[in-house]
Structure 1
Amino acid sequence: MNAEQERLIDLETKVAYQDATIEQLNEMVTQLGHQVAKQAEQIRLLAERVKAMPQAQVADSSEESPPPHY
């Protein structure tokens, strides 16, 4: 096998590994995108619940007593 053939095989091997890595990264990005969308929806729902709470249930920070370690 001459040097050009070895070089070509080496390059083809590297491209194959890069393709596999790109596919794995694409799957990870897709999964993370789904997780971010799910978390954004959860945050939206929590924000709605907080807004729907009567003001009497949401204590003003000035009304709260300091924690015991103060």
Structure 2
Amino acid sequence: MSGDSDRIAALETRIAYQDETIEALNQTVTAQWSEIERLKRAVAQLEERLEDAVSGPGPVDRPPPHY
């Protein structure tokens, strides 16, 4: 019966390490998802600014500030 106990202990140890690994991976995926969402918002803002710059009014003819 000692062999069975050793096998069970080894399996329990492996499961504990796997649980830790899964938790670490979950935290990594969650952090990456947050970063992706932040980057999506930044890209959307940049696209809006680019569209405004392209479709906005042309340059205004004003004298330079030193005149």
TM-score range, shorter chain: 0.7 to 0.9
Per the normalisation by structure 2, the TM-score is 0.79
> Which structure has the highest helix share of the two?
2
For 1:9 and 1:47, locate their aligned partners in 2 and report how far apart those are by CA, in whole Å: 57
For 2:33 and 2:43, locate their aligned partners in 1 and report how far apart those are by CA, in whole Å: 15
Q: For this pair of structures, how many residues does the alignment match? A: 57
Per the normalisation by structure 1, the TM-score is 0.75
Task: Identify the residue that residue 45 of structure 1 maps to in structure 2.
Answer: 45
Q: Secondary structure at the match of 2:38?
A: helix
For 1:14 and 1:54, locate their aligned partners in 2 and report how far apart those are by CA, in whole Å: 59
Task: Identify the residue that residue 31 of structure 2 maps to in structure 1.
Answer: 31
CA RMSD for the aligned pairs?
1.7
For 2:52 and 2:36, locate their aligned partners in 1 and report how far apart those are by CA, in whole Å: 24
Deviation above 3 Å: which 4+ runs of structure 1?
54-57
* Percent of matched pairs sharing the same residue: 33
